Structure 1
Amino acid sequence: SKKLRTEIAARGAIVTAKDRRPGLAVIVVGDNPASQVYVRNKVKACEDVGFHSVLERYSVDLGEEELLARIATLNADPAIHGILVQLPLPEHIASERVLEAIAPEKDVDGFHVANAGALMVGQPEFKPCTPYGCMKILESIDYPIRGARAVIVGASNIVGKPMAMLLLQAGATVTICNSKTRDLAHHTKDADILVVATGKPKMITGDMVKHGAVVIDVGINRLPDGKLCGDVDFDAAQYVAGWITPVPGGVGPMTITMLMMNTLEAAEKAAKL
């Protein structure tokens, strides 16, 4: 993550020299404590790599039309190259409408339906940040993905499905498990690469992991005692896995690094570099 951020800062300086300083707008609606932490981290990452950032906080009673109007303004702002709306949104706002209002060339989260479709055929404008970060983690350990058996637990649009597409395109044999999967352990124990994103604390126990597997834990959960943990029981799984990401400090920082990478690439495209 640190190595990549150094590269991002260097490339960002080149764009900035052409009067196109990479700019990211982050919108957060309501006062979800986890969301506040995430947006703070994203804005700090922008500062660290020399990007321009705009953080817009709105009260929980912001109307959907008002939010859509604000996105339309940011779409037209040449100083903003990436627009990110922090999820979850309050119940009275339709997330799908909001995400699809973001111009695809500024959709640095990679959630727009146009980018999701482009990812499916292997030509995405932007890869979703968390799966992109997971692929970079595999790249950083020189893991041979081609021919490997990859199992993804969790089939969300944000992590599970795009993760499957990226692994498939890299030559892995991919299985996606969801909450209705029978005998989950049968699948997880078969995985050379196990990616877990369910939001259920420590649901993957040590005996569900194949000896020597690479385990990427995307989950971040707060336990009653206030400690953070992943979707994998790290204490047990670390003795079985060949390689495992910790929580916190594993996938989370990499996700933010890839958000910076996508914002940089959006600025480079705008500057025609």
Structure 2
Amino acid sequence: MGTLIKGKPVADKIKEDIKAEVKELRAKGTIPKLSIIRVGADPGDISYERGALKVMSELDIDVQVNALPENITQEEFVDFLKKVNSDSSVHGILIFRPLPKQLDENVIKYVIDANKDVDCFSPLNVAKVFEGDESGFPPCTPAAVMEMLKYYNVELKGKRAVVIGRSMIVGKPVSMMLLKEHATVTICHSRTQNLPQVASEADVLVVGIGRAKMVNSEYVKDGAVVIDVGINVDEDGKLCGDADTEDCARKASLITPVPGGVGSVTTSVLAKQVIKACKLQTGSC
């Protein structure tokens, strides 16, 4: 039976490191600050916002929450974002996505200041992830996956990694981050032929396809590490991942639970990125 690897120890370690950095910045008169931009009141956004506020408060990072109306126009949104860009007291900007249909993300992603874009919305930061340039800001969830693998000493060099899911939010960026660590990466998706067979060849299997409990033990190689990035609600109304944890654990050596796995690390990674942005902007690196 595989071991459940939880996110809390990983998040605690990240926060422990950040506290010292925040203390040092504040001693120099620099107050790290995150600006959250939320359009409307999506329950998922509000839940993430609540978690982010809690973590930032623990770490003494200031947060500005901007709750904008659901019917805000493109022009109004862009004008507001430009104001946040130019606010020197703000070091990190987090825009909750997807945005309402009247807002064109393909326009807005070029407006956000790449130096403050702490969750990889700007094409410049996306390009840096694909180039392996660590001066940028990768998406927080893929970065949390990498933090989990590092904390639990999962060897990646020369290993076969399979990523199920090709979104720009998880699948593609985490694949590039695994590749940077010298894993041999295969990206799979809903149209991949013989998907269980391909997945079962992985030493490290990352699942982020958005289908509740889709991945079972048939997809898992004996002794593989399974990282479940999915967040779904099952037929009983309970949170679950894209992997059937109990079934996959029969073959996996390590597996992340949902809830309590990767998701619990994401807000700590967000805080880490805010501090990185703050240091870059204030020359404190």
Question: Shorter-chain-normalised TM-score: which range?
Answer: over 0.9
Aligned positions, number: 273
Larger RCO, structures 1/2 (Cα 8 Å, 6+ apart): 2
The corresponding residue for 1:3 is 13
Aligned to 1:248: 259
From 15, 29, 39, the equivalent of 1:29 is 39
List aligned pairs for 1:209-228, cutoff 5 A: 209-228=220-239
Identity %, equivalent residues: 38
2:271 to 241, 260, 263: 260
Q: CA deviation at 1:3?
A: 1.1
In the TM superposition, 1:1-273 aligns within 5 A as 1-124=11-134, 125-273=136-284
Distance in structure 2 (CA, Å) of the matches to 1:244 and 1:104: 34
2:5 corresponding residue in structure 1: none
Q: Are 1:234 and 1:246, in contact at CA under 8 Å, matched by a contact in 2?
A: yes
| Alignment root-mean-square deviation, CA | 1.1
Structure 2: distance between partners of 1:101 and 1:224: 41
Distance 2:208 2:106 in 1: 21
The residue identity in structure 2 corresponding to 1:232 is A
1:202-239 Cα offsets, whole Å, 9 max, x none, are 01012211111111000001224321000000111112
Code of the residue aligned with 2:203 in structure 1: it is D
Cα distance in 2 for residues equivalent to 1:87 and 1:220: 16
CA contact (8 A) 1:152 1:174 kept: yes
Q: For residues 148 and 135 of structure 1, what CA distance do their matches in structure 2 show?
A: 14
Instruction: State whether residues 18 and 271 of structure 1, in contact with CA within 8 Å, keep that contact through their aligned partners in structure 2.
Output: no
* 1:46-71 per-position Cα deviation (integer Å, ceiling 9, x unaligned): 11111000111122111121111111
- In the TM superposition, residue 31 of structure 1 has moved relative to its aligned partner by 2.0
| C-alpha separation in 2, matches of 1:44 and 1:80 | 18
State whether residues 145 and 171 of structure 1, in contact with CA within 8 Å, keep that contact through their aligned partners in structure 2. yes
SS of the counterpart of 1:151? strand
| Counterpart Cα distance in 1 of 2:28 and 2:280 | 12
Distance 2:159 2:64 in 1: 41
**AA paired with 1:212?**
G
CA distance in 1, matches of 2:105, 2:52: 20
The 8 Å contact of residues 43 and 55 in structure 1, kept in 2 or not, is answered as: no
Distance 1:111 1:56 in 2: 17
| AA matched with 1:205 | N
Q: 3-state SS of the aligned residue for 2:147? A: helix
Aligned partners of 1:169 and 1:132: how far apart in 2? 12
Contact residue 211 and residue 242 of structure 2 kept, 8 A:
yes
Distance 1:266 1:132 in 2: 15
In 2: Cα distance, 1:18 partner to 1:222 partner:
46
| More deviation, 159-168/59-68 | 59-68
Give ranges in structure 2 of 5+ residues lacking alignment: 1-10
CA distance in 2, matches of 1:20, 1:74: 18
Residues 48 and 265 of structure 1, relative CA distance in 2, 3 Å threshold: same
The 3 A distance-change label for structure 1 pair 30 and 224 is farther
The CA distance in 2 between the partners of 1:101 and 1:155, in whole Å, is 25
